Chain A
């Protein structure tokens, strides 16, 4: 298993550009999520999904869209990038059938710089 994969590893955008951060997992995990990590602020939840076709907002959803058409993939879209979205983005997943409190498996992260 490759686990949780993220692409790209690093991206530079200009303000107003759009892009999609890709996340995939091959562990048949039901739950997937996106976090952003900023200095001094820990990891904050952007969006999450409890299964294909189901998504919901986390703590900091503004400026981001998600969809979950398959169990494996959970892309994060920035429609109009802003400098405030400069951050490191992590995708994570949790196995199917959990009742909460399960260990999350994190991807390697995507470093995004918005100029």
Chain B
């Protein structure tokens, strides 16, 4: 089965705290792609990162970092020193070569309180 699970429905943190959003995926394929998207209160979907299954290096982009672990089928997203502007719904998604279909998780709503 192909599935993406974001078990955290909603997380609240106080500004400047670090927060990790979990993403666990299920697949039998050896080649696949993982994504994170951000949906701020304005509603649009903003692309954050794409990772293929052969690249297990962690990625850092400013305050954002991603930890890809094939051994646990996880692709977790950490925001360091969170800010109010990070408040959004974050989606993890899975895709494959030869198909344009994405499988989305149900999303995690992050609330960063001032």
Q: B-contacting residues of A (Cβ < 8 Å)?
A: 31, 33, 35, 40-45, 48, 50, 58, 88, 90, 94, 98-106, 108-109, 111
Contacts and interface: CB of A to CB of B under 8 A. Distances in A.
B100 A108 contact: no
A21 to B, nearest CB: 15
B106 A98 contact: no
Contact of B100 (A31, A35, A43, A88): A31
Contact of A101 (B9, B37, B43, B50): B50
Interface SS of chain A: helix, strand, loop or mixed? strand
B42 to A, nearest CB: 8
A33 B101 CA distance: 9
B102 A45 contact: yes
Contacts of B44: 106, 108-109
B43 A103 contact: no
A105 B47 CA distance: 8
